[in-house]
Amino acid sequence: MIEGRLDQHSATFAAGHQAVCLFVNDDGSAPVLKILADCGVSFIAMRCAGFDKIDVEAAESLGISVARVPTYSPHSIAEHAISLMMCLNRRLHHAHMRMHQWDYSLSGLVGFELHGKTVGVVGTGAIGSALCAVLKGFGCLVLAHDLKPSAHCQGMGVEYVSLEELLQRSDVVSLHCPLLPSTKHMISAQRLALMKPGAMLINCSRGGLVDTLALIEALESGHIGAAGLDVYEREGPLFFANLGEMELNERMQSWDRNFQILKSFPNVLITPHSAFLTQEALQSIAQTTIVNLTEFQLGQSLSYQVCPCPEAGVPFIPAGQH
């Protein structure tokens, strides 16, 4: 096991190994993959669902197969999204801090009932579907947008609409879709402007889905009432490390002005890409990763392989993994 992320400097540690196991923010760009291939690596086992940091087309050209963990306890992430909603809505983080300051006043802690509110879920795969079920239990009107509507969600009474209609009607919008060229900054300034004044935005999917500068402007203007983020589009140098233990010069190399601005808002709650972090999810990730490595070792067909689409040149997920 190698501490630290995969990059052009650490890739040479893979010399003499046929496979490497990567996580969500490891650098899988073409230059790094070339180093891995030169070291003899022919298989990448991603211990996560996302693969947007992997140049899958370059991997194939270098003879490197890529497999992922397509789903691991989607309830973990769905429940985290609910946690962000409830904490922001009822100002739990502010109430907690006040208690430590001997401030037991109620001013500024007024929230709203989630029951009866309209919540829009963008992406109804395993995680989005699990979230829809929880929201229906709260008594919410649930809208959804997905290129492939889920029969399961429709059976729960979820209404599928266009993304624009979802943004216009929802009190809360929660993102649960992959980061692809077609979804990069899908929540843009124009789409943020479509949202209800004071609406809440939740993102437990991929940071690149949201235009950070546009979100900052929407928060500053008051148009967006709150944002709960478990991801950030430039989280790579920040998350999964304790920067507080670093020397100042080293820490400043990871300084991100926009991230600091986001953190400063009292109506923004950020967690360090930890929505997946439950005992059940970790066990599932380990089990599927072992399956992927075993199939590779035995020369079997990879059940959870990610391949480049021959027509569009972008990754696609084989049938059965949606």
Would you call 159 a catalytic residue per the annotation?
no
> What is the distance between the alpha carbons of residues 24 and 49, in angstroms, rounded to a whole number?
8
Per DSSP, the residues of 12-61 read GGGTT-SEEEE-TTS-B-HHHHHHHHHTT--EEEESSS--TTB-HHHHHH
Q: Cα angle vertex 166, ends 165, 171, to 5°?
A: 125
Q: What is the 3-state secondary structure (H, E, C) of 62-106?
A: CCCEEECCCCCCHHHHHHHHHHHHHHHHCCHHHHHHHHHCCCCCC
Q: Is 91 a catalytic residue?
A: no
- Which entry of 68, 169, 191, 235 is annotated as an active-site residue? 235
What is the Cα–Cα distance from 322 to 308, expressed in whole angstroms?
16
Catalytic residue among 47, 169, 206, 295: 206
* Residues in contact with 154: Cβ distance below 8 Å, sequence separation at least 6, in sequence order: 160
DSSP 163-217: HHHHHHH-SEEEE-----TTTTT-B-HHHHHHSPTTEEEEE-S-GGGB-HHHHHH
Query: Exactly one of 273, 280, 295, 311 is catalytic; which is it?
Result: 273
Residue in 41, 90, 49 with CA at minimum distance from that of residue 67: 49
Tokens 């059976």 belong to 155
Token pair of 150, please? Answer: 């889920």
Active site residue 234: no
> How many angstroms separate the CA atoms of 94 and 77, rounded?
23
Active-site residue set: 206, 235, 273
